[in-house]
């Protein structure tokens, strides 16, 4: 559900008041870019990017285009690219397995390992040497090898895109800063299913957990001399 102009205007009023409040409390500081970023693309697999699925999100054309531009910039600089998808080996709800209890809340049983639904969208397909992490929970870091791999690569910041703003993107950003990485959320590259969810979560992330930056600013950083390749 796209956020209407009316809702966006109402949110702008709320965000302005909240931003002023946060600033008086010392929030909304800037964490800044690091010296070696990785691109972390959260769950841009077919179940989220293609129409007709339970997990389908809005505004996919802009999100895919944004990720294509970022991929081009990262690949040109030889910087790490990591994708995640969410998928399960055991999708029978009557059998204990890797879905845990999540299937009691959302239809994760449709996300089986190796399925077309869980495959990364072909418009942003991984290339040789790029990593696809199959996660079982919302965060890209929870129960995966992501943190250790990034540290081994010398990565100090993650440029984050994907879906959904209210869950997997947000949880991944929270865990990124907890694990010592500088999270940068790309405004045009993040989506959700519910009206207002992207706007609210990016506002709150920017206040507490990472910096929200425009695609233009991120691309300028990737073209700068501030990066150690």
Residues with active-site annotation: 168
Count how many Cα atoms sit within 13 Å of the Cα of residue 142 in the half-sphere of its side chain. Answer: 16
Q: How far is it, in rounded angstroms, from Cα 82 to Cα 70?
A: 12
Pick the closest to residue 133 from 80, 181, 85 (CA basis).
85
Do 123 and 75 meet the contact criterion of CB atoms below 8 Å apart?
A: no
Q: 92: which 2 tokens?
A: 């029978």
Q: How far is it, in rounded angstroms, from Cα 147 to Cα 176?
A: 8
Long-range Cβ contacts of 59-64 (<8 Å, 24+ apart): 59/2, 59/191, 60/191, 62/188, 63/161, 63/162, 63/163, 63/188, 63/189, 63/190, 63/191, 64/121, 64/123, 64/124
Burial (0-12, 13-18, 19+ Cβ within 10 Å), 217: middle
Pairing of strands 131-135, 211-213: unpaired
């Amino acid at each position: 559900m796209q956020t209407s102009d009316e809702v966006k205007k109402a949110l702008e009023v709320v965000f302005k008041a909240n931003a002023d409040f946060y600033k008086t409390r010392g929030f909304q500081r800037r964490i800044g870019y690091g010296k070696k970023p990785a691109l972390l693309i959260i769950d841009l697999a077919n179940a989220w990017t293609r129409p007709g699925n339970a997990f389908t999100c809005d505004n996919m054309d802009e999100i895919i285009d944004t990720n294509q531009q970022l991929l081009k910039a990262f690949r040109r600089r030889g910087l790490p690219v990591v994708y995640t998808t969410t998928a399960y080996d055991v999708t029978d709800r009557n059998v204990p397995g890797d879905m845990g209890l999540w299937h009691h809340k959302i239809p994760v049983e449709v996300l089986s390992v190796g399925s077309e639904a869980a495959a990364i969208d072909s418009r942003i397909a991984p290339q040789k040497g790029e990593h696809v992490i199959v996660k079982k929970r919302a965060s890209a870091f929870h129960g995966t090898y992501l943190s250790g791999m990034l540290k081994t690569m010398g990565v100090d910041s993650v440029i984050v895109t994907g879906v959904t703003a209210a869950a997997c993107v947000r949880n991944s950003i929270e865990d990124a800063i907890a694990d010592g990485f500088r999270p940068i959320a790309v405004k045009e590259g993040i989506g959700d299913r519910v009206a207002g969810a992207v706007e609210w979560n990016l506002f709150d992330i920017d206040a507490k957990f990472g910096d929200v930056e425009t695609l233009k600013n991120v691309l300028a950083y990737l073209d700068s001399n501030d990066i150690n390749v």
